[in-house]
Structure 1
Amino acid sequence: MKYLSLLLVIILLAACQVTIQPLATVPPPTGGSPTATLPPPTDTPTVSPPTPTPKPPTPTPRPPQPTPTKPPPTFSLPPFFEQRDTPVNVLASYINAIDRREFARAYAYWENPDQTFEQFVEGFADTVFVYLVVSPPTAYEGAAGSQYTAVPTLLMATHTDGTEHFFRGEYIMRRTNPEMVGHPTDWGIYEAHMAVVTSASLKRWLPDKPPPVPPAYEERENGVHLLAAYYNAINRGEYERALSYWQTPPQSAEDFATGFADTAWVTVALMPPWEETATGGGLYSRIPVLLLALQQNGARRAYWGCFVTRRPPLAMPAVPHVSKIVDASLFKAKRPNAHLLIDACRPRE
Structure 2
Amino acid sequence: MNKTRIIPLLTLLALTLAACQPGTPTPATVTQASLPTVEIITATSQPTVEQLPTITPEAQATAAPTTTVAATGGNLADTSSSNYLDDRSTPAALMLSYVNAINRHEYLRAYSYWVNPTPSLGDFDAFTNSFSGVGTESVVIGNISADGAAGSIYYTLPVLYTDTLANSGTTLKYVSCVVMRLPQPANYGEPPIQPLNFDSGTKAALNASISDADALAAACNGQGSGGPTSAPVLENLTDLSANNYIDNRSGAVEVVSSLLNAINRKEYVRAYSYWQNPSQTVGNYDNYAAGYNDTGSVSAVFGTVISDAGAGQFHYQVPVGMIVTTNNNTQQTFIGCYTLHLANPGMQGTLPFEPLGITAGKFKQISNGTSLSPLLATACN
| TM-score > 0.5, shorter chain as reference | no
TM-score range normalised by the length of the shorter chain: 0.3 to 0.5
**TM-score normalized with structure 1 length:** 0.42
In our comparison, the structure showing a higher alpha carbon Rg is 1
TM-score (norm. length: structure 2): 0.39
Q: Which has the higher contact order (CA 8 A, sep 6+)?
A: 2
